[in-house]
A and B are shown apart, each in its own frame.
Chain A
């Protein structure tokens, strides 16, 4: 158990809908990252927050957004869902020091039908 908690673990929704994925980082970790894993794209970095502020942005679609709250938990919002958004979404966290391990949660399986 990495200490990073993600909910829900599984989610099935229809095209055009909107979902929110939630992440609680490890205790004491200030950085939260979101990744998408799919068979065709592999593991892709979406976005990073550090202590409530957006730090880095990767291949995140405009239909997707994220935020980190004062208690450091984070949410990833996915809207106008398409079939191609079906993937495993990981949240990860680290202390925030560039030399620290980045720990991954168990992931949220999203299926868009």
Chain B
């Protein structure tokens, strides 16, 4: 059974600081997704990482994937209050063609950025 573990699960940090969220998974996969969720809202897609060594950046967020280590990271640079949210990583291990099977999500990292 695929397990996806995120850490930390809770993170309180100050504006202007840097931090990294880690996502480990237990089964070989080359497809990893990062989502953001605000309280009571939908999941907003942040990054789709599709190969070993993939690195994507959007604003203050940067995500990377190491399929050999089964590890993805989400790095936050010079955090601002607007980045406060819950961040999820999700792994797809389907082997069937034609479409992704269900994603397995981590428990989420609840991030609070204080002024």
Contacts from A to B (Cβ < 8 Å): 2, 30-31, 33, 35, 42-48, 50, 55-56, 58, 90, 92, 94, 96-107
Contact A50 B104 (CB under 8 A): no
A-B contact count (CB 8 A): 77
Closest CB of chain A to B87's CB: distance in Å? Answer: 12
What are 30 A-to-B residue pairs whose CB atoms are below 8 Å? Answer: A2-B44, A2-B45, A33-B103, A42-B107, A42-B108, A43-B43, A44-B105, A45-B102, A45-B104, A45-B105, A46-B102, A47-B102, A48-B100, A55-B98, A55-B101, A56-B94, A56-B101, A56-B102, A92-B43, A94-B99, A96-B98, A96-B99, A99-B31, A100-B48, A101-B45, A102-B45, A102-B100, A103-B45, A104-B43, A104-B44
Q: Which residues of A contact B98 (CB under 8 A)?
A: 50, 55, 96-98
Contacts A99-B50, A101-B45, A107-B42: A43 and B88 contacting too (C-beta < 8 A)? Answer: yes
Contact B99 A42 (CB under 8 A): no
Contacts A31-B99, A48-B99, A56-B94: A98 and B31 contacting too (C-beta < 8 A)? Answer: yes
Contacts A42-B108, A43-B88, A107-B42: A102 and B103 contacting too (C-beta < 8 A)? Answer: yes
Q: Which residues of A contact B45 (CB under 8 A)?
A: 2, 101-104
Is B96 an interface residue when CB atoms closer than 8 A count as contact? yes
Contact A55 B99 (CB under 8 A): yes
A33, A46, A90, most chain B CB atoms within 10 A: A33
Is B66 an interface residue when CB atoms closer than 8 A count as contact? no
Q: A interface, by DSSP: helix, strand, loop or mixed?
A: strand
The 9 closest A-B pairs by CB, nearest first: A45-B102, A56-B101, A43-B105, A96-B99, A104-B43, A31-B99, A50-B99, A58-B102, A106-B42
Contact A97 B107 (CB under 8 A): no
Contacts A98-B92, A99-B50, A102-B33: A42 and B105 contacting too (C-beta < 8 A)? Answer: yes
